[in-house]
Amino acid sequence: MVILNEINLSYLYPQYPYKQGLITTADEYSYFYPAEHFCNSGEWNETSSGDKAYLRTPGYGSLYLLAYFISAKHAFLVLKIIQIGFFSGSLLLLNKVLSIFLYPKNALFATFLYGILPCFNGFTYYTLSESILPFFIIWWIYSIFNTDKKVALNLIFSTSTLVLIRPQLIVFPLVFLVFYLLKKNRRSFYLLIGLTPLLFWHIRTVLILQEWGGLHPVYSVKNNTIFRPPHKELTELFKIWEYESDVFHTNMGILSSDTSVVSRNNVAATIPKSIRNEVIPVLQKFQQFRYMQQSKYAGVKLNDYLPGEKRLTIEIRNLRQKIKHENLVLNHLVTPFNSSKKLIFSSMMNLNIYQEQWRNNIFVWMLKGISFVLIFSGFITTLLLSISRQTEPEFKLLAISVIVSIFYLIYFQRLNEERYLYPYLCIFFLLMCALAAKVRSSKLLSNKKG
C-alpha cells in the first residue's frame, strides 16, 4: 500500500498539489484551520466569515491538532504517518473480527487480500476523513462483536469517535441502539454514552445558530460565502435531475462568476430540455444575487438576509415543488437510479497512476475488474443479508445499517462523489467473508450428515 501510494505521489508533482506526502483536497481547510486556530487562540473555528466557521465536527481535525502539536512545521508529515498507522491498525482489527467466524488461516488470507487490493486503501494519503474512517468503522464493529470485559470502553470510544468523524454514520449506532433497547441489553447504555460527544457538539452549534441545522450544517444567513439560502434551494432544485456533484458545483461556480447570458446558457445546457425554460429565470436571478453579494458585501459581516434574498429563496423553493410534482418519474426513479449507478458501479481505484500512467496496463485492467466485482458483489451480499431470515442478528443489523445509509445517499443526498461509498467497502468485505463462512459450514454439515 505504502509503495503504491508513494509511486502515485511521484507522478503527481507538479500537476496536483500535495504537502509533505499528503494529497491536498478542497475540504482540508475546514478540517485543519480550526485546529491551528485552536492552538493560537483557544477557539475551535475557521478564519472564514460566518457560522460555517464553527460547524464541522472536530473528529478528523483533532488528529491534525495532534500532528500540529507534535510538529507545527511538519504537521502534514506527522499526519501522514498517523494515517498509515490507522490503516495498519484496521488490518489488525479486521483480522480479529474475521477470526470470530473464519479459521485462523482463512482470516489471515482474507486480511492479506484486503490489505493489498487498491480499492481498500486508495484514500490513505488524502487529507480527507476517508483516510481514517475504515479503522474507526472496523473498530466499532469489533466492539459490537467483542465479548470481553473491555467491551464497554471499546463501544463507548469507538462510537463517539466514529460519529465525530462522520456524523452521517450515526445510523449504525442508532440501529443497534434500538435493537439492544428492545432486548434490554446493557450495550444500549454504552451506545448512548458514546453518542453524547456528538450531542454536546450540536448543542454548541444550536447555541451559535439559534437553530438546529442538521447533522452537518452548511447554510446560514450569517455566511458571507456561496452557502446561503438561495444556494441551498438551488441544490434541492438541481437534485430533481442532477446526480453528478462535480457538474452541479461547476454550474454554481459559473453562475457566481458573472451575469452574462453565455454563462447562464452553459449551465442551462446541463438541464433537461423539458424543464430548462422554467429554470433559466431563477438562474439569472441567482447570478444577479451573487454579483450583488460579491460586489457590495465583500468582506462585510452578515447577520440576516440580503436585499431580495428571501424573495429569491422562496421563488426557487416554489419552482422546485412545482417541477417535482410535474416530474415524479424523473425525481423518484430516474435520478436516484442514476445516482446509484454512479455510486455502486465503481472499481474505487482512484489513484492517479491507475487513471493515467498505468491506465492501459493489462494488470491494472484486471485489478479494476476484480475490484468492481468485489464491490458489486459486496453490495448484493449486504442486500441479501439485510432481508434474509437466517442471518445472525449482528450481521443482519450491520447489513441493514449499510443499506439505509446507501439509500440515503442515492435517494436524498443524490449529488454524491464516489468516495462516499469508500467507508462501506470494509463492511462489504466483512459481510462477504461471513456469507462465505456460512455457506462453507452448511456444506460441511450436509457432508457429515451424508
- Exposed / middle / buried, residue 181 (Cβ in 10 Å: 0-12, 13-18, 19+): middle
Q: What is residue 410's predicted lDDT score, i.e. its pLDDT?
A: 95
Q: What is residue 14's predicted lDDT score, i.e. its pLDDT?
A: 65
Q: What is residue 41's predicted lDDT score, i.e. its pLDDT?
A: 80
More confident residue, 175 or 45: 175
Mean pLDDT of the chain: 90
Residues paired with 244 in a beta bridge: 416
Place of cell 442508532: 174
Q: What is residue 214's predicted lDDT score, i.e. its pLDDT?
A: 72
Angle between helices 151-165 and 133-145 in degrees, nearest 10: 150
- Exposed / middle / buried, residue 284 (Cβ in 10 Å: 0-12, 13-18, 19+): middle
Q: Tell me the per-residue pLDDT of 236-248, one tens digit each, with 9 for 90 and over.
A: 999 999 999 999 9
- Report yes or no: 327 and 240 within 8 Å, Cβ to Cβ: yes
- Coil, helix or strand for 18? strand
Q: Using 50, 70 and 90 to split pLDDT, how confident is the model at 150? A: confident
Range in 23-27, 134-138, 152-156, 406-410 with the lowest mean pLDDT: 23-27
How many residues are listed for the chain in this entry? 450
pLDDT over 60 at 79, yes or no: yes
Angle between helices 59-70 and 151-165 in degrees, nearest 10: 90
d(CA 163, CA 153): 16
Q: What is residue 205's predicted lDDT score, i.e. its pLDDT?
A: 81
Q: What is residue 52's predicted lDDT score, i.e. its pLDDT?
A: 59
- Coil, helix or strand for 304? coil
Q: What is residue 442's predicted lDDT score, i.e. its pLDDT?
A: 61
Question: What is the average pLDDT across 55-67?
Answer: 90
d(CA 15, CA 343): 27
Question: What is the average pLDDT across 425-430?
Answer: 96
d(CA 137, CA 158): 8
Range in 174-178, 183-187, 217-221, 231-235 with the lowest mean pLDDT: 217-221
Structure-block grid coordinates of residue 286: 441567482
Q: Using 50, 70 and 90 to split pLDDT, how confident is the model at 74? A: very high
